[in-house]
Amino acid sequence: MIYDDPQFIDVNSYNFDLEDSSPCINSGSPDIIDEDGTISDIGAYSTNYNSCLNQGDVNNDNNINILDITLGVCIIMNNSLDACNADCNLDMNEDGSYNVLDIILIIDIIINQ
């Protein structure tokens, strides 16, 4: 049982997803495994850590740079994360697809770093 603030994203807007720092993440039953392969979270929604924690970091090396752009182009050209050995989400604008708009948003991040 926890008594700490669960750290919901926005209770006033009824967004009960958990912040990354929530004490509810991986604090549920150790007998139940979430979709991401970790111990279950406390609450209605689980937090999936198989996605990028740093949007734009396509190769997940904690740097957003030309390598992410190159890998993003590979993903777009092959229409596959697997073909390019990528394990992160390239969908920068969260429209459900990988395309040149996502690359432009990564370039914008690099320019404004």
More confident residue, 95 or 85: 95
What is residue 105's predicted lDDT score, i.e. its pLDDT? 95
What is residue 50's predicted lDDT score, i.e. its pLDDT? 53
Q: Per residue in 13-64, pLDDT tens? A: 888 888 878 888 888 888 888 776 778 888 877 776 555 567 888 887 878 9
What is residue 28's predicted lDDT score, i.e. its pLDDT? 86
**37 burial class (0-12, 13-18, 19+ CB within 10 angstroms)?**
exposed
Domain limits, the chain: 1-50, 66-111
What average pLDDT does the chain have?
Answer: 83
Whether pTM exceeds 0.85: no
